[in-house]
Structure 1
Amino acid sequence: MQDLDKALADIVAIRSQIARDTAFRGLGAATVAGTGFLALACAAGQALWLGDPAARPGLFFGLWIAAALAAFMMIGVEAVRRSRRLHSGLADAMVWNAIEVFLPAAGAGACLALVVARFAPDEVWMLPGLWQVLVGLGLFASSRILPRAVQGVGAWYLLAGLAVLAVSAETRALSPWTMGLPFLLGQAWLAGIIHHAARAFDDDR
């Protein structure tokens, strides 16, 4: 029985290692681009109907958190579906590997929002920039499972986040466009990279 357990553990370890060394193809370009347009729609809606975000920061951030959850759901469902089709028996391991890559940045963003809202509510203006910095770091980490060109998108989010912090520092104002525009451009760029990588893979087959 011990030999059987050891053999099964070895198989799991081998599958996990293969998953780590295999390019993740679970992301769909159209879905990733769709999350960028979702950010644009959220920003436009807030600009038209929310009024001054500083007067209603809870609603401002609540809408962005809802948009982020919707984006995660869109990408997650697509990733599972595509992985089962493209990665076959490694699908589950590939999906969990991708989650492990992105989870630290996502978790840090959620914890950061809770801490700032609870202990430093006057500094909530920093959250849009900080969130973009964390997205950039998450994309840098993902370059081991995604095309290396995603490092450029990671750099975009990092620089955009720092720019948002610098611009917002003077007035400490909240603007939906400091979230909507960086995410629209970043997700569109990421979608282009994924589309190009998918075409290159198909051409090599």
Structure 2
Amino acid sequence: MLHRRRFLTHATRGLALGGAALLVAQGALAQPSYTVPLAQLQAMVDPKFPRNVPVQGLFNLSVQAPHLRLLPEVNRLGAAMALDVAGPALRRSHQGRLDVEFALRYEASDRTLRAHQIQLGRMEFPSLRPEVTDLLNAYGPLLAEQSLREVTLHQLRPQDTAVFDGLGLQPGPITVTAKGLTVAFVSKAP
């Protein structure tokens, strides 16, 4: 009986140690990454706004700093922006809003995370006649492209990537999570 207990004790310990070794090995094989929280992204974007976009001498659209939100279910970011449109064709200023969604890409030349693949929602201007709002929405994709194209959301510093550089890794896929953006590091192309 004593012999059987000793055997079971050693077998249980062996299984526990083997399981722990497997977990450590899985952790060691996990893809290294760098996480950027939403507050840090917002702080990087805010100084880049407002942006003004003139439209053929008819009006000027002013886009205020977007309020960013994480959309992990579609691996994108969303932004709600206050708008102000004014000009000779409108007689006075009108406030509105616009929602957009966009993907992210890494730009190696300056180590930045940038907005791209922008999907525009409908611009809403409660004080404008519907036909004028429709006209503004016809220009919407062009306006969004001009005001949001390649907006820098974050810039990695050399010290953020130094360890990864030393291991022959570079930024790869960007994943939107509930905590922020996670940039995975992958092997550098030969």
For the superposition of Structure 1 and Structure 2, which TM-score range results when normalised by the shorter chain? under 0.3
Bigger radius of gyration, 1 or 2?
2
Q: TM-score, normalised by structure 2?
A: 0.24
Q: TM-score, normalised by structure 1?
A: 0.22
User: Hey, which of these two has a bigger chunk of strand by percent?
Assistant: 2
Q: Highest relative contact order (Cα 8 Å, sep 6+), 1 or 2?
A: 1
